[in-house]
Amino acid sequence: MMQNSTNSVKKLVMSSLTAGAICATSAFASPVITAYKVDGDIKNIGVESSFWRKAKETEIIAYPQTTIHLNDKKANELNDGNKAKKIKVKALTDGQNIAFKMEWADKTESIQSGNAIKNTEFADGFAVQFAAKYDDPLKLPYIGMGSEGRPVMVYLQKAVAKLFEPNGNGDVAKQVNRANSPYFQKDLERFDIDVAHLARKSYQKGFVAEGFGSMTEIKDKSSEFLMDMKYKKKIFGASGWEGSVVRPLNDNYVKIYNDPIPVAFAVWDGDKMHRDGLKHLSTWIIVEFDGVQSDDKLKKEFDKPLDNADLKNGAELTKMHCASCHNYGNVNDAASAYMAPNLSNIGGYSTTPYLIESILEPHNVIVPGYNPNAHSNFAWYYGDKESGKTSAMPAFDYLSEQEVLDIVGYLKTLKAEVE
């Protein structure tokens, strides 16, 4: 059955370009970012580098991630009815490194401060996600931090003031209040200087992940990267952030050659208490290298438009087969809001092959759920990593090919209005 389902996924994606459209949906096609070649080393590039003048920007859309609601009433109220955000992206390469620059509007500059990460103060931030494995366009990692067997690399930066935290060196002598230190006068001044040098003035981290709850920070310097983030306050026009990240084309985690690659982008708004999964997230976006003739299999197949999907029938089928567990848009018929992932913006950050695979082979990519200790009636999967996980969602492989395409075509319309 699994082999038959896999073949069905491929067949369905291939048939999505069939002529004779009932309802044209070519607008679902994602934009393509071009990485421009520059002469010069971009290893230390920041947002204000003159190199960026050589690149053309591409506008992408990041949608509110509504898969899971936080157990935070105030945050949920602040983000109720969020619209999608426009992000302008540029890309550069020097043949050894690849860099991205993002620009997005944000009316408020939210900087996290204090001597520890607080639960009442949240930072603006951004992230760039790379698929570590992308040889099969139909089996890309889950957009939300990857999936088991399909890892991703995530680079995250937050807007922070000076932060102090244990540095892993066991140096507790300088992690005390100066009034409790054994120093006076000039010795105390030197103590203050030493403490200041321990402060983290920039929060930028690299992670590997294979799904929710699996993010693991890379601390051994096996992944070199550099990030930059600056707030641009404007009198005329929208104020907002510029952020950049640069990394080698090849390292132990992601290997980038001349072929197109999938990259995703996310932004957080601290003023709306954004953190973790509460953010705006793009779908996988194809990045190709300017002037390079390469195998564009990924570009051709990863998110084909569904030109022969009947959206009206898809809406009816979705309500019939999905609404008892999933809430979406104005449909709130699920027995519980925690029964299954909310699909309200699924069309904004999911690719066509992912949606087809989720319908036919739901066990392949399992979203962990809102609570690992949830009541069995509301668990999103059964089993564990050792014994194997089984999705609580059954496989809908009994649906006809056209019915699956109709459902996917409708799901692709589920996304917030762009602000």
What CATH number has the domain bearing residue 156?
A: 2.60.40.1190
Shared domain check, 186 and 156? no
Measured CA to CA, the distance from residue 117 to residue 52 in angstroms comes to 33
Measured CA to CA, the distance from residue 335 to residue 413 in angstroms comes to 24
Shared domain check, 176 and 63? no
E-strand stretches of 197-317: 203-209, 216-217, 226-232, 240-248, 261-268, 280-281, 285-289
- Are the C-beta atoms of 6 and 294 separated by less than 8 Å? no
Could you tell me which of 299, 298, 365, 360 has the C-alpha nearest to residue 137? 298
Supply the pLDDT for residue 359: 97
Share of the chain above pLDDT 90, in %: 62
CA 391 remoteness from chain centre? 22
For range 129-135, the mean pLDDT: 94
Q: Which residues 6+ apart lie within 8 Å of 116 measured at CB?
A: 163, 164, 165
SS3 assignment, position 363 = coil
When computed from its CA atoms, the radius of gyration of the chain, rounded to whole angstroms, is: 23
Measured CA to CA, the distance from residue 155 to residue 44 in angstroms comes to 15
* Residue 295 identity (one-letter amino acid): D
Shared domain check, 138 and 105? yes
Residue 20 has pLDDT above 80, yes or no: no
Residue 225 DSSP code: -
CA 301 remoteness from chain centre? 20
Residue 191 has pLDDT above 60, yes or no: yes
For residue 7, is it within any domain?
no
Supply the pLDDT for residue 202: 83
For residue 361, is it within any domain?
yes
Which helix (H) or strand (E) is 404 found in, with range? helix 401-411
Max mean pLDDT among 155-169, 240-254, 380-394 falls in 240-254
Tokens of 152: 């991703």
Give tens-digit pLDDT for 344-361.
999 999 999 999 999 999
For residue 84, is it within any domain?
yes
Q: Which residues 6+ apart lie within 8 Å of 99 measured at CB?
A: 42, 45, 51, 91, 92, 93, 244, 245, 246, 247
Backbone angles phi and psi of 410, in degrees to 5: -70, -45
Supply the pLDDT for residue 23: 46
Supply the pLDDT for residue 29: 61
More confident residue, 175 or 123: 123
For residue 187, is it within any domain?
yes
Measured CA to CA, the distance from residue 178 to residue 239 in angstroms comes to 39
Measured CA to CA, the distance from residue 139 to residue 146 in angstroms comes to 11
Max mean pLDDT among 28-32, 83-87, 157-161, 178-182 falls in 83-87
Give tens-digit pLDDT for 192-246.
888 877 777 789 999 999 987 789 999 988 989 999 999 999 888 899 999 999 9
Shared domain check, 149 and 43? yes
Instruction: Report CA-CA distances (Å) from 357 to 93, 115, 339, 404.
Output: 33, 45, 20, 10
Measured CA to CA, the distance from residue 84 to residue 68 in angstroms comes to 17
Q: How many domains does the chain fold into?
A: 3
Shared domain check, 359 and 216? no
For residue 22, is it within any domain?
no
Shared domain check, 268 and 193? no
Helix ranges restricted to H, 147-263: 185-198
Shared domain check, 326 and 244? no
For range 250-256, the mean pLDDT: 95
Cβ-count burial 211-225 (b if 16+ within 10 Å, e if not): bbebbeebeeeebeb
Last residue of one domain, picked from the residues 245, 269, 303: 303
CA 101 remoteness from chain centre? 16
Confidence of residue 11 (pLDDT cuts 50, 70, 90): low
Measured CA to CA, the distance from residue 248 to residue 58 in angstroms comes to 22
Going 135 to 140 to 145 to 151, the CA torsion angle's sign is negative
Tokens of 407: 């459902």
Tokens of 176: 């005390």
Last residue of one domain, picked from the residues 272, 303, 334: 303
For residue 234, is it within any domain?
yes
DSSP for 208-219, please give it.
EESSTT--EE--
Shared domain check, 84 and 52? yes
For range 380-386, the mean pLDDT: 79
Backbone angles phi and psi of 171, in degrees to 5: -90, 80
Shared domain check, 316 and 260? no
Q: Give the range of the structural domain holding residue 123, as residue numbers without chain letter.
A: 33-163+200-303
For residue 5, is it within any domain?
no
Shared domain check, 350 and 238? no
Shared domain check, 189 and 124? no
Last residue of one domain, picked from the residues 303, 328, 361: 303
Shared domain check, 249 and 205? yes
For residue 16, is it within any domain?
no
